[in-house]
Amino acid sequence: MLCSRTRLVVPAVALAFAAGAALTWSSLRPERAREENAALAAEPAAPVAAAAAPPLPAERAGDAPEATRAARELSAAFVAAAKRVRPAVVHVNVVRTVAAPAADPLDLFGDDFFRRFFGEPRPRGRSRSFQQPGQGSGTIVRAEERKGYILTNNHVVGGANKITVVLADGRELEAKLVGADPRSDIAVVEIEAEELPSAALADSDRIEVGQIVLAVGSPFGLDQTVTSGIVSAKGRSNVRITEYRDFIQTDAAINPGNSGGPLVNLRGEIIGVNTAIYSRSGGYMGIGFAIPSNIARVVMEDLIRHGRVTYGYLGVSIQDLTAPLAKHLGLAETKGALVSDVVKKSPAEEAGLKSGDVVVEFAGRAIDGADALRNAAGITRPGMEVPITVVRDGKRLTFRVKVAEQTKDLVALERGGEAMRKFERFGLTVEPTSAALRKRYRLPAAAEGLLVTEVAPGSPAARAGFEPGVLIEEVNREEVRTLEDFRRALGRNKDEALLRIRLGRHVQYVVLKLK
């Protein structure tokens, strides 16, 4: 018992040693302690130094410091913006039917086994389908008497068998797809209900880098989530998300489930539709992208009115203006879109545009690059006549171009001309010859054809001996001068085509495998 008691007492003493030393000494001599306490009580209290008692904060006196007032005003602006937009933000649930190959026990053998022993590929198992759920966000942007239109992403609701939305007030409603546009990744769904709130679309052309924004949506299914950040950049076009690229970049936290939700300014107005994030982990890493509201508005109106989107068509192939190209063209800067080819009988040709022109303005808007021109022309209503300003031989010229409607058999402003000039299945990228390209690759002034600018390693073009700088003059004994000529000539062949090419002074024929 003695040992046990000792073990319990020792730790308690050790912990109380520093704070309890005076108490232990006084308790050993009670008479001395009473005398000291009486003497202390008889002495007057010592004055407290002024430094020991800091003055009350100024805000207690009714005069808030300037920094605190500014922070409170900013916080109040955040709260007000969230209150304006949140009632119109919805959580979107979808169900899609997805086909998947059935489990096949013969997969263990593979095709080569069956070809070797049976002379034919192995039998394939039947595919099966299953229901795949998905989720995202959206915003009610138009509310009528008993109907509302929700703006969201194509990749959220496109191809869905069933769409359900949950409103901010808890109502769960069946939704109907009005239309979806994969090229812009915008979609519109319709719901039927009374007393629906709505949010306004702002002019996204007026946003500024550094401007404070809020992102609202349902990341990971957590609906009505609000995050804040700034506009990190605008006019992002080197992001391969959609065909029409003019993204707002933001550092407001955007995660899976935020897609289709609004990016809003401090007035609670929508400046963009959140659509993608840059991530190596699948989650937020500080970079998100939103489709500008001005593009979303045009697409939305077309989808509501016609169920499809009509894009403008100019009939030009364009590319970004690089520093070497600008130097050869005698330009001081690289802003503008270089016209590399003009389609015959197109709006561009009828307006007077030529290969080698650099477009610097379209419909009163400055054009920084190929994507800016493609976006501006694409969202222009077909039939409209707008001014287009180019730099030609160092002079600024302005033409009037009547924008046509882009149809499936027309090649419009395709991703900086890539759809026309990049033939991915051959691993080949070509450009119509121009004065700048002839000079760059040291071609004769009279050289005509299509110049190879890129060749993918290991591709059919690489195996045929193509390399950058090769000039394609003929396809199957027919001269090719434009991208349309080249595409049409290749389209007549199923397996291979005979091409005459020139590299420097050397001319030869090669066979390009088309399969």
More confident site: 339 or 20: 339
Please report the pLDDT score of residue 239 as a whole number. 62
pLDDT > 50? residue 50: no
pLDDT recorded at residue 122: 54
Q: What average pLDDT does this structure show over 96-116?
A: 55
Least confident of 109-123, 139-153, 410-424, 475-489: 410-424
What are the φ and ψ backbone dihedral angles of 75, each rounded to 5 degrees? -60, -40
Are 160 and 94 spatial neighbours (Cβ–Cβ below 8 Å)?
A: yes
3-state helix, strand, coil in the chain (%, to 5): 30, 35, 35
- Token digits of residue 151: 């703006």
CA separation for the pair 153, 246 (Å, rounded): 15
Q: Is the pLDDT of residue 390 over 90?
A: yes
- DSSP H or E run through 506: strand 506-513
3-state SS string for 325-350: HHHHCCCCCCCCEEEEEECCCCHHHH
Start-to-end CA span in the chain (Å): 94
Burial of 236 from C-beta contacts in 10 A (0-12 / 13-18 / 19+): middle
The predicted pLDDT at position 100 comes to 58
Q: How confident is the model at residue 120 (pLDDT cuts 50, 70, 90)?
A: low
The fraction of the chain above a pLDDT of 90, given in percent, is 37
Helix H, strand E, coil C: the string for 280-324 is: CCCCCCCCEEEEEHHHHHHHHHHHHHHCCCCCEECCEEEEECCHH
Between these two residues, 170 and 36, which has the higher pLDDT value? 170
418: confidence class by pLDDT, cuts 50, 70, 90: very low
pLDDT at 108 over 90: no
CA distance 309 to 114: 48
Q: What is the mean pLDDT of the chain?
A: 78
- Residue 269 has a CB neighbour count (10 Å cut-off) of 18
The residues near 137 (Cβ < 8 Å, ≥ 6 apart) are 89, 90, 91, 92, 152, 156, 216, 217, 218, 223, 257, 258, 259, 260, 261, 262, 274
Q: What kind and span of H or E run contains 22?
A: helix 17-28
Distance CA 136, CA 223 (A): 9
Active-site residues: which are they? 155, 185, 259
139 pLDDT higher than 80: yes
Question: 127 falls in which pLDDT band (50, 70, 90)?
Answer: low
> Given phi > 0 = left and psi -120 to 50 = alpha, else beta, which region is 273?
beta
Identify which has the larger pLDDT, 43 or 426.
Answer: 426
In the prediction, which pLDDT does 52 show? Answer: 46
Mean predicted confidence (pLDDT) in 19-40: 41
Reported residue count of the chain is: 515
Positive or negative, the Cα torsion across 259, 264, 268, 271?
negative
Mean pLDDT on 399-425 = 61
Q: pTM score, two decimals? A: 0.63
Query: What pLDDT, on the 0 to 100 scale, is given for residue 443?
Result: 80
- The Cα 251–Cα 172 span in angstroms is 31
Q: Are strands 247-250 and 316-320 parallel, antiparallel or unpaired?
A: unpaired
Burial class (CB in 10 A: 0-12, 13-18, 19+), 15: exposed
Q: Check residue 251 and give its pLDDT.
A: 94
Helix (H, G, I), strand (E, B) or coil at 113: helix
Distance CA 349, CA 341 (A): 10
d(CA 347, CA 400): 10
CB 202 within 8 A of CB 295: no
Q: Which pLDDT band holds residue 428 (cuts at 50, 70, 90)?
A: confident
Give the residue-averaged pLDDT of 366-391.
90
The answer on pLDDT for 116 being more than 60 is no
With bands split at pLDDT 50, 70 and 90, how would you rate the model's confidence at 89?
very high
C-alpha distances (whole Å) from 244 to each of 1, 314, 374, 416 are: 86, 15, 8, 10
Instruction: Indicate the pLDDT class of residue 9, thresholds 50, 70 and 90.
Output: very low
What is the model's pLDDT at position 40?
38
- Give 159's contacts (C-beta < 8 A, 6+ positions apart): 96
Domains and CATH numbers, the chain: 204-306 (2.40.10.10), 312-415 (2.30.42.10), 424-513 (2.30.42.10)
Between the alpha carbon of residue 305 and those of residues 139, 270, 310, the distances in Å are 19, 21, 11
pLDDT tens digits, one per residue of 153-205: 999 998 899 999 999 999 999 999 999 998 889 999 999 999 999 999 999 98
C-alpha–C-alpha distance, residues 379 and 238, integer Å: 19
Which two three-digit tokens encode residue 504?
């420097």
* β partners of residue 176: 190
The predicted model gives 257-280 an average pLDDT of 91
Please spell the DSSP secondary structure of 25-62, one letter per residue: HHHH-HHHHHHHHHHHHHSPPPPPPGGGSPPPPGGGGT
Spell out the residues 6+ positions from residue 46 whose beta carbon is closer than 8 angstroms to its own. Answer: none
